[in-house]
Amino acid sequence: MALRDAEMPQLSTILNPQKMLNLLRKTLRPTGEGHYHIYEITDCNVERFRYRKGDRIIVQYQLTLYDQLTKHSKKLWVTGVSRNKLKPVLKRYKRIISSDPWWNSSLSSLVFEPVLYFPDLKLLIQLYPQDHHLPTLPLLLNNHSKIRETLLLSQLGEGWKIMESQLTLMRYRPLQAATFRCAFEAEPPHKKEPLKKIFYFKLFKKDEGLSVFEDLLQLKQVFPSREEGIHVLNALGYSKQLKTLILEEAPGIPLSAFILNGLSIEYTLEKTAKALAEFNLSSCPFLKKQSMEERFHPLEKAIRFIQDVCPEHQEKLHQISFQIQTRLKEVTLCPTHLDLKPEHIFIDGERVTFIDLDAVAMSDPVYDIASLIARIVFLSESKQISRTIRNRALRVLKTHYFSQVPRSWKKRLIPNYCCASLKIACYLLQHQEVEAKTRVAHILNKCIQQLSQEER
């Protein structure tokens, strides 16, 4: 995707996978594992980017490495940060290389030296797990340290012994967060049958995970464990040293699996709708209350990003933003997930679990159902599900959700749906999806059309 930015001409290289492949092939220096294996960089993909016109860009690349010794390939995340001015990039680079080089203690896990600097491109490159906003990430991954074992034992009590543990990266958002699945086997005291269990580790920047941990503990009191209705994951602990939240595994099957396979649509969507209504109507005074400015910040951020990438839509975006903000000024704040999608909902018989409650707050609750609807529409328009399944799912969701909540909430569905749709438009552009700009134009036209209507 070509971006025209007079302040940042380097974008023509930074967003070009072939140019970056050639550049990284020339400059990456082997270390650690590279002493014993010979890796060839065979491919470079731009997986995602975040961009502020005339200011900065953050790009997540994925390299494919071919091991000439084992004849196997592996993937490597690479993060690029570039600014319109050289000074802040150089300052960050010097700060990183002047700090204690953690990679000396874990050379065997690294393929290349983890930090590069390209002054001509005003570009700082960091190779996973190096991340200046997640400095404890390498500690969690270091197999030679006892930190991970200590983390697991803290949940088991005295006398236990970790026999084996395997950490699998589930999601990595550069400079923001990382989520791992940790499958382990532990030997209990008195040599009884070994315990096999799965925990999830969520690593945050700074101490953001601590507030998430505290919210989950209080949500658990509002929704104690039961056989039906809402189930809140047990927040097992929080490590200040690693900035890491420890969670139990969510029981059941993701709602996305039912929708994608067209299975039990009515049952699972009815359970979801009723559980979501119960959550939105619950009393959670401990949650942070969002101001009007905070509620509209994601909308304004999405509008700005789309406008920076697609300046031809500036007038439409301003029209959409004005209509949404006018119709959503006055709302009664209720518990709101704020990042609800089918893969964040697990169905286990009569129980429904909402995961990834990192952003939960007192906000406009209608955004949750609107976000879920927008995601299901996206699955249909990207040909992952049929229109028949989409229509069935939306009918069940709307019927059972709006029969449980105040009647006035339904009037806010369309503007909230448009907010959620703009977030999907950002996703299409950030991930450079096929025909992204055409699909974004379609989303904007649809928003304008829907905002001219009233939800009945």
Q: Do 166 and 99 reside in the same domain of the chain?
A: no
Mean of pLDDT over the chain? 93
60 forms beta bridges with 48, 79
Is residue 73, in this structure, part of any structural domain at all? Answer: yes
> Given pLDDT bands bounded at 50, 70 and 90, which one contains residue 107?
very low
Last residue of a domain, one of 130, 162, 179: 130
Half-sphere exposure of 98 (CA within 13 A, CB side): 6
326-344 pLDDT tens trace: 999 889 999 999 999 999 9
Cα–chain center distance at 436: 20
Is residue 138, in this structure, part of any structural domain at all? Answer: no
Q: Do 442 and 303 reside in the same domain of the chain?
A: yes
127 forms beta bridges with 78
Last residue of a domain, one of 190, 224, 248: 248
Instruction: State the pLDDT at residue 101.
Output: 57
**Helices and strands, number each (H, E), in the chain:** 14, 16
In the predicted model, what is the mean pLDDT of residues 5-10? 96
Q: Do 272 and 225 reside in the same domain of the chain?
A: no
Last residue of a domain, one of 69, 101, 130: 130
CA distance 17 to 385: 31
In the predicted model, what is the mean pLDDT of residues 230-242? 94
- CATH of residue 174's domain is 3.30.200
Long-range Cβ pairs for the range 421-428 (8 Å, 24+): 421/374, 421/377, 421/446, 421/447, 422/299, 422/302, 422/303, 422/306, 422/320, 422/447, 423/298, 423/302, 423/371, 423/374, 424/374, 424/375, 424/378, 425/302, 425/306, 426/302, 426/305, 426/306
Structural domain containing residue 415 = 253-451
First to last CA, the chain: 40
Nearest to 230 by CA among 242, 221, 239: 221
Is residue 300, in this structure, part of any structural domain at all? Answer: yes
Domain count for the chain: 3
DSSP characters over 229-275 = EEEPPPEEEEETTTTEEEEEPPPSEEHHHHHHHT-SHHHHHHHHHHH
pLDDT over 90, % of the chain: 81
In the predicted model, what is the mean pLDDT of residues 77-85? 97
